[in-house]
Amino acid sequence: MCNGSVADKGKPNIVDRSGRHQLPIGIESFEDVLEEFTYVDKSLAVKELVDRRGVTLYCRPRRFGKSTFLRMLQCFFEAPRNAGQPTRKPLFDGLAISQDDRRYMDECSAHPVIYLNLSGCGAATYEQTLAKIASVVAAEFARHRYLYDPTWMFPIEQERFQRLTGGTASEVELMGSLTWLATLLRSHHGSQVVVLIDEYDTPVNDAHLNGFRRKVLDFYRSWLSNALKGTVDLYCAVLTGVLRVSQESIFSELNNVRFDTTLDDGRAEAIGFTAMEAAALAAYVGRSDRIAEMAEWYDGYRFGKADICNPWSVLNYLQTGEAQPYWTNTSSNGIVSDLVRRAGEEQTAELAELAGGGVVTKPLDLDTVFDDLGNNPEAVWAQLYQTGYVTTSDTGMPNDDQMPRELRIPNLEVGRLYGKELLARATRLAGSERRLASLHRAIVARAAPAAQETLRHILLDSASYHDLTSEAGYHVLLLALLYAVPGYRPATSNRESGDGRCDVLLEPLAAEAGRLPAHAMELKLDKSAKTDDALAACARDVALAQAERKEYGHGLVGTGLVRWGVAFCGTRVAVVCDTAKLD
C-alpha cells in the first residue's frame, strides 16, 4: 500500500500487493486485480450496504468501474459452497473495510450470492432478449449446480432446475427463476442471499430502441420484483446501470429501493476515481508531473459532492502517458451524434455554447429518458447527463426534477467529441471540407462576395430545400456552418448584444483577440425577392441596417467589429458586410 494507511482519514488507499505498479485495464476478476495489479480501494462502500440492506441501484456512465465494484461485492459477501472450505476474508486484509468496525467483516464470506451480468442481453426482438437473459440465468444456475439434489427434490423440481440450467426454461419459469434460486441458496447455506445485477438497463434500452420496451418492462416487474421484494431470503441487492428506469416501470411493488444516481450524495465516490484518488494513483505509478494534464483531459465530473475522474481514461492515460480520447473511443457515442444531427436552432446554439466552454441551464428529470425521449426534446439532456456527456455542479435537491441546473462539458476528452461531431455536421452541410474551409476563409477575410458564392453553392448542392422554408432553418444552417472558424470560438446565437439580440456572433479566441476582429451577423428571409438585386437590397438595407442601428456586436473582444447582412430566398443568397468598425 502507498499514500498512507487506511487510518489516514480522507486519504486514498492504493493497494499493490504484487509491487509491480501494473494497472488493471479490462481485468474482470477482482481477485486478480488485488493480487496482480494496483487497486484503488473502494471497499468502504460495503458499510452502507450492510447498514441499510434493501435494494440499491447505482447509476453511473459506462466504463466507470461498475463491474469491478460488483465483483468486489461478490468477493466480499459470497460464502463458500460448503462448510469447511476456505473463505475470502484474507483477501480483504489491509483494505479499508477490514480496519473499520469489525461487525462489517462479520458479513464477509457469510452469504450466498446471485451474480448476473446483463450487458450482453440487448437484442432486436423480445424473443431474442428473453433467450439472452435465459442464457445468463442458466450460467448462474450452473455455477450453483451443487444445489441440485435428487434425494429431496421432487421430479418436477429436478426437471425445472435442468431446464433453467440448460437455458430452455419457459418464460413463466424464467420470471420465477431468481426467486427460486434465492430460496434454494437460503435453504442450502442457512443464510440470506445477496443479489448482484450488472447493467440491468441494457435489455430495456435496446427494447426501447427497437419498439418493445413495454414487454421487457412487464417481464422485469415479475422477474425482479418478487426476488427483491424484501423477502426473508434476501439480505441485500445491488443493481448497476447507466440510466435510471423509473420506479413505476420496474420497481413499483418495492418499497426498499434506493436510487443512487450521479446527483445523489449517498456514496458518490463508490464508483469512479475521486480527484484525490486519481492524483494518488498517478503519484504511485511515477506520473506526478502529469496530474494537471490528466485533470484537464479526464476530470471535471461532479457526482453528489465529490469531484470524479473518468477511471477508464485515467488508467489508460497513466499506462501510456499519452493524453488522447480513451473513453469516447470505446463506443459509437450515438447519443451525441444523434443530438447534433437532429438539432434545431435552439439546440444548435446550445451545443455551440457547450463546445465553447459555456453552460446550458436545464432541469434534469432522470425518469424521463425512456417515456419522454421521443416527444420531449428536453429529455435528451437527462440522458446526456446520465451517460456522462455533460455534468453539473448543481447537485443539490436530487429529486427536484424542475430545478434548473447549469450543465457543462466535463473535460477536454468529451469536449473533443462534441467538436468532432459539430465539425462533421458542418462539413456534411457544406458538402466537403474544401467548401467549408472556403466559407471560413471568406468570413475571416471579410470577403462578402466570396462568402456569398460559397453559400450559394452550399444551398444548391448540399442542403435540403425543404429544410429551408423558414428563417429559422437558414439560421440553423449558418450557425452550424460557422463552427470551428480558425481563430474563433464557436458561433453563438440570439445573444443579447447592443440594443437587441443578434442572430449570429463570432468572437475570436483569447489568444487571437489582438489579431482578429469580432463578427456580428443579421439574417433575413425575403420570399418576395424576385431578383438578385432585390435580395441584395434586403441584405444591405434591412439586415445590415438593423445590425448597425442596434449596434450588434458592441463590446465583443477583438481588433474591431465586422457587421454582416445576409438575406435568403430559396436557394439564392445575398451577403454584404461593413468593415467600418475595424481598428
pLDDT value, residue 375 = 64
Cell of 465: 430545400
Instruction: Tell me the C-alpha distance between 481 and 459, whole Å.
Output: 12
Q: What's at 169, amino acid-wise? A: A
**Grid coordinates representing 162?**
435442468
pLDDT below 50 — which residues of the chain? 1-9
**Which residue intervals of 431-464 are DSSP H helices?**
433-444, 448-461
* Residue pointed to by grid coordinates 462479520: 106
**C-alpha cell recorded at residue 356:** 465553447
Domain parsing of the chain, residue ranges: 52-269, 275-309+318-329, 334-416, 431-582
Q: Which residues contact 496 (CB under 8 A, 6 or more apart)?
A: none
Contact 491, 352 (CB under 8 A): yes
Distances (CA, A) of 133 to 112, 223, 289, 406, 538: 21, 11, 46, 39, 63
| Cα 122 from Cα 131, distance rounded (Å) | 10
Task: Name the DSSP class of 540.
Answer: I
Residue found under cell 429529455: 379
Going by their DSSP bridges, the two strands 560-569 and 518-525 should be labelled as parallel
Of all helices (H) and strands (E), which one includes residue 259? strand 257-260
pLDDT given at position 1: 44
Q: Which three cell numbers stand for residue 226?
A: 418478487
Q: Where are the beta strands (DSSP E) in 112-200?
A: 113-117, 193-198
Query: What are the φ/ψ torsions at residue 370 (nearest 5 degrees)?
Result: -95, -50
Q: What is the distance between the alpha carbons of residues 126 and 477, in angstroms, rounded to a whole number?
A: 40
What totals of helices (H) and strands (E) does the chain contain, helices first?
A: 22, 18
Q: Would strands 54-59 and 234-241 be described as parallel, antiparallel, or unpaired?
A: parallel
What CATH number does the domain located at 52-269 have?
3.40.50
* CA pair distance 9, 4, nearest whole angstrom: 9
**CA proximity to 497, closest of 549, 560, 440:** 549
Roughly how many angstroms between the first and final C-alpha of the chain, as a whole number? 62
Q: For 314, how many CA atoms within 13 A lie in the half-sphere containing its CB?
A: 31
| CA-CA-CA-CA torsion sign (222, 224, 225, 226) | positive
Residue tagged 440487448 (cell numbers): 122
3-state secondary structure of 493: strand
What are all long-range contacts of 349-353, with beta carbons under 8 Å and residues at least 24 apart? Answer: 349/479, 349/492, 349/493, 349/494, 351/418, 351/422, 352/422, 352/479, 352/483, 352/490, 352/491, 352/492, 352/493, 353/490, 353/492
pLDDT for the residue numbered 372: 56
Q: Encode pLDDT of 160-205 as tens digits.
A: 999 999 999 999 999 999 999 999 999 999 999 999 999 999 999 8
Residue of 489, 488, 499, 461 whose CA lies nearest to 477: 461
pLDDT at residue 466 in the model: 53
